[in-house]
Structure 1
């Protein structure tokens, strides 16, 4: 089936999703009060949905019980104001199915399922893995293609076949294969979410559904403004807003530290719940945090001038 971007239906989980950090106390325990505070803040400031227990949420170092507790706490905090997509992907199909069922029970609206990592299964096995997870619950699936971390690509042909499953509805794309993404968009109704902040506008412009943004942890309104401008027909303005966010995107996502580390450092500097990262990650140093804060202040100052009538 050929998809016309102009006639696409509403994205299944909204347009602007935040790949939310998992707040911890200074002692390293799960901070559910902080989680609720941060979730409510993000939704109030422009996020349509929250992705929990993804890469940015430090899913490798949270327990199964903590993952379920996060979903329940965030559902209580945001109610029906935002979608909750729960990361349940692991290297073990059986464990992934267990997490998927637990997420459904805890109140998630959808599942984020990464390609099985480390063992590097062939595409036939990757497809079988996703189908088994999709059959395990009544929740819709977002397939997470991030071969730089998993070692395994979800090939375009595999995505096209999986799109035939009624509960496979979306892709979080971190493949850095822009042509491959367009090929899948042209042949399926899958909702494509940019998983790399530098691609938010580019993928949206060719028919993507929106983004799953790490940078939205700190500037959710700025991430949303790019897509809002594009939807309003102001493509030049959308490009300008994306470009203005690029220095912060670069510092948070492409300066040598994981996005989890930079997001938590900046959130802490802004007085928002985040807490430390769990080992083996290590916190950002003072110089890095100060640099992030400076770029944040520059970006938000630009926004203030724009709102006051100065478009430049």
Structure 2
């Protein structure tokens, strides 16, 4: 593939999966939410069926229906990445091929979790998935969930694959990231909203956010300000958004995002077990965090 320094744009949101009141998939709501995120929150791309999309509790058929609904709604003006990562390489390949058929622009592939494979197994996993389709891949490095970090040498080796083009970096190890960026052409996207500005400073290109269901416009302005060398404005915007960049993770991010979206009358609905819906107290705290960032929920 031709090298693109920002293969998925600058701003992506890991979109929640809307459910109806009875807990079933709400594809019409997903289409409306996707349009809101692209048209009003200024996202260049969306990630579907990631952690925030409650992928552990949606079926393969639901993932396919969700992806098709979002591609139809916004695929003409934004990229749509399908989260296909599991701890089973064969299953991940199946999901990747299904996503390609459904019209995905790219794939988000997380480190195999729970099994804690050695680095050789991690490398083989990513190469196998990358070989399975023609889609570009964003590797998701999130050791506090997966149980295993992708080592610098492993990341540099898998970067040799032409379809492994980006990283969602939730490791938040700027030294390790700097070493990878000095040795590869990988496009690094922050997987921690509050770490976006520091990541930009060492060569990152953007954010895959959670709070960006509400802070997208601020995050996009911050990234663009940094890129035009207006670091003072970027820092001001970082500090403005910081209460919600961090506050969205006071408990599970998806719980608070859905609470905030429901409060705004946006499609969201309940979460699925084992998660639980945010309490009134948690929603009130979210509103305080949002207000501190200049956002009304």
Mapped to 1, the partners of 2:294 and 2:69 lie a distance apart of: 30
- Give the match for residue 264 of structure 2: 270
Mapped to 2, the partners of 1:285 and 1:292 lie a distance apart of: 11
Moved more, 218-227 or 192-201: 218-227
- Give the match for residue 127 of structure 1: 123
- Give the match for residue 83 of structure 1: 79
Give runs of aligned pairs for residues 1-312 of structure 1, distance below 5 A.
Answer: 9-45=4-40, 46-253=42-249, 255=250, 257-300=251-294
Q: Secondary structure at the match of 1:208?
A: coil
Is the CA contact (8 Å cut-off) linking 1:141 and 1:167 kept in structure 2? Answer: yes
Task: Give me the TM-score of the superposition, normalised by structure 2.
Answer: 0.96
- Give the match for residue 4 of structure 1: none
Q: Secondary structure at the match of 1:278?
A: coil
Q: What is the aligned residue count?
A: 293
Offset of residue 9 of structure 1: 4.2
Is the CA contact (8 Å cut-off) linking 1:269 and 1:293 kept in structure 2? Answer: no
Render the CA deviation track for 1:241-297: whole Å, top value 9, x for unaligned: 1111111122112x2x11111111111111111111100001110011022123323
Mapped to 2, the partners of 1:36 and 1:263 lie a distance apart of: 17
Is the CA contact (8 Å cut-off) linking 2:138 and 2:164 kept in structure 1? Answer: yes
Is the CA contact (8 Å cut-off) linking 2:5 and 2:185 kept in structure 1? Answer: no
Q: Which structure 1 segments of 5+ residues have no match?
A: 1-7, 303-312
Mapped to 2, the partners of 1:187 and 1:58 lie a distance apart of: 34
Is the CA contact (8 Å cut-off) linking 2:5 and 2:187 kept in structure 1? Answer: no
Q: 1:231 to 1:198 in 2, by over 3 A?
A: same
Is the CA contact (8 Å cut-off) linking 1:174 and 1:195 kept in structure 2? Answer: yes
Is the CA contact (8 Å cut-off) linking 1:111 and 1:139 kept in structure 2? Answer: yes
Is the CA contact (8 Å cut-off) linking 1:144 and 1:173 kept in structure 2? Answer: yes
Render the CA deviation track for 1:121-140: whole Å, top value 9, x for unaligned: 10001100111100000001
Mapped to 2, the partners of 1:301 and 1:117 lie a distance apart of: 35
Offset of residue 217 of structure 1: 1.1
Q: Secondary structure at the match of 1:84?
A: strand
Render the CA deviation track for 1:169-210: whole Å, top value 9, x for unaligned: 011001121110111001000000100001111111221121
Mapped to 2, the partners of 1:279 and 1:148 lie a distance apart of: 21
Structure 1: 4+ residue segments shifted above 6 A: none
Offset of residue 220 of structure 1: 1.3
Q: Secondary structure at the match of 1:243?
A: helix
Q: Which structure 2 segments of 5+ residues have no match?
A: none
